[in-house]
Each structure stands twice: as C-alpha cells, then as structure tokens.
Amino acid sequence: MLSYLLRRLLGVVPVLVAVSIFVFGFVRLLPGDPARLMAGPEASEADVAAIRHDLSLDQPIWEQYGRYARGLLTGDLGRSSRTRQPVATEIGARFMPTLWLTIFAMAWATVAGMTTGVLSGVKRGRWQDQAAMVLAVSGISFPSFWLGLLLIDLFSVRLGWLPTGGYGTWQHFVLPSLTLGVAVAAVLARFTRSAFVEVASEDFVRTARAKGVPERLVILRHTLRNALLPVITMTGLQFGFLLGGAVVVETVFAWPGLGRLLVDSVSYRDYPVIQAEIMLFSLEFVLINLGVDLIYAVINPEIRFR
C-alpha cells in the first residue's frame, strides 16, 4: 500500500508543474493592465510605470515565472496587488467558508442522490423510476444563479424564513447549500442508477436470487456494493468541482468564500491572488483524486499492483 501511495504522489509532481506554467501564462493573457487599474484612469504614464515596476511586471516573463515558482516551493504566494496583504492571508480568511459550504452541500446531495439512484434502479421501468429521472434531469438543467434567486425570493423575501445572504449562523448555510447541491444530487442519482442497473444484470446477482438470498441483501451486499466504485469516483469529482466552482453561488448569496474572492481578483487583475486560487483548486482536485485512488485500493486490492 505504501509503494502504491508513493507512486501516486510522484505522479502528482509533473501535473502540478504543468498547471503552474499554464496558470501563469493564462493569467497574463487576461485583457487589462493591473498597474493602470490600480493607478486609476487619471494617472500619468510615469505613475503607471512606477506601479508596474513595484509589481515586477516590467521584468522579462521568465524572470516573473522564476520568482513565482520559487514562491510556490517556499510557500510564499506574494502579496495582493489590490490590498497589499499577503495572498496566503487573503485565501486563508476565505477558505473555511467555502469548505464548510461545500461539505454541507455534498452531505445532503450525496445522501439524496445515491438514495434516489438506488430506489430508481430497484423500481426500474416503473413510475417511481421515471419520476426520479425527471427530477434528476431538472436538477441538472436549472442554472444555479436562477435557482438561487428563486430560493431567495421564496424563502427570504416572501416567507421571511431565511436570510438572503451573508455568513454566520446555520441559517445562512441553508439556501446556498441547497442551490449548490441540487446539480450534484441530480448527477449522482443518474450515475448511481446507471451503475446499479448495470451490476443488477450480472450473473452473480441472478445467482444470489436463485439461491434464495433475501432481496434486501441482494440489493445491499451484492448489487450496491459492486456499483459503488464508479459512484465514488463521481462523488470525488463533484466534491472537487464544488470546492473550486462555487463562484456563481457565492456571488448570488454574498458568501465570503474563495469563489467571490476570485471574481473580485479577476475584476482588478490581481495576478498573485488569481494564480494562487487556481493553483489551490488544482491541488484540491489532485488530492481528491489521490484519495479516491486510495479508497479504490482499499476496496479492490488488485489495483495496488497495476
């Protein structure tokens, strides 16, 4: 198991190097001059040049990348060109709200999605199956910003049950987590149903029924257990998407998380913050995929030797 983990960790290094090069180049392709934005429209060219020098934007591109790469290796992410605060401090203050929002959204979405998928697979071809799949397709089709505004209008404006936005009590988590988790629950429901139906048609499941194994055990021990591997993969990917893709939901609900920070940073062309956030999202995906691979290795030991 340890050698398998080391092999997987070694494979992470070139991925992160490639991502760092891509992120560094992509950010500098964004239209707009951060020095001009900081100086203001009335500033002289000399003032803009001074700010550009202060941000090291007047140096050759390879020297800028070298400084950026050294900072990544030493944990120095630089300072925000907008607030002049350390980037690590800016991100650290926003990370936990995004993480907790993602955990709440994934918790209910995973339970609801997998339960719906299993029930749909058990009732395959019946009205329960059709109703569940209609709900799943609807959940995937609803734009998150539209759903968020709809929930705000219903539960906050009309009924007055929940706050319209912000961060603080458990009530602030309800609407954003519902909005963020609807699409995930729909995807997991469809994916779980597909995996469940595929495994249910295997010979060993029919053999278990022929031997008189109770239907509950056939569903839980034989069918669902063998259908979990692809579902675990999809769950891990969805968790990574939520950690890095809650930009719209955080903006709608004025949530002080990483997504909203990214929107603000792009508006001001705050290169250090944008680079650090995208690298953080990439690292999250890599670590989540690594965790999924380790779970695979625990469930199916043959994977360790591949």
pLDDT digits (tens, 9 = 90+) for 120-177: 888 887 888 888 888 888 888 888 888 889 999 999 988 888 888 888 788 889 999 9
Cα–Cα distance list, 160 to 71, 151, 153, 156, 171 (Å): 48, 11, 9, 4, 12
In a domain, 85, yes or no: no
Residue 84: inside a domain, yes or no? no
83 in a structural domain? no
**234, 187 Cβ separation under 8 angstroms:** yes
Domain match, 113 and 262 both: yes
Domain count, the chain: 2
Residues 246 and 101 in one domain: yes
Residues 189 and 235 in one domain: yes
Tell me: do 47 and 11 sit in the same domain: yes
**Residue 168 belongs to domain with CATH number:** 1.10.3720.10
Higher pLDDT, 246 or 17: 17
pLDDT at 188 over 70: yes
pTM over 0.85: no
Same structural domain, 39 and 165: no
Main-chain dihedrals φ then ψ at residue 86, nearest 5 degrees = -55, 135
Task: Tell me the C-alpha distance between 90 and 276, whole Å.
Answer: 10
For 243-283, what is each residue's pLDDT tens digit?
Answer: 766 778 888 888 888 888 888 888 777 888 888 888 888 88
Given a cut of 80, is residue 187 above it in pLDDT? yes
In a domain, 88, yes or no: no
Q: Could you tell me if 70 and 99 lie in one domain?
A: no
Q: Are residues 130 and 70 in the same domain?
A: no
Whether 156 and 70 map to the same domain: the answer is no
Domain with 40, as residue range(s), is 2-74
In a domain, 86, yes or no: no
Q: Do 45 and 114 share a domain, yes or no?
A: no
Question: Do 229 and 160 belong to one domain?
Answer: yes
Last residue of a domain, one of 42, 74, 106: 74
| Pair 18, 132 in one domain | no
Question: How far is 267 from 301, CA to CA, in rounded Å?
Answer: 48
Q: Do residue 110 and residue 68 come from a single domain?
A: no
Residue 79 lies in a domain: no
End-to-end Cα spacing for the chain: 12
pLDDT at position 108: 92
Q: Is residue 130 part of a domain?
A: yes
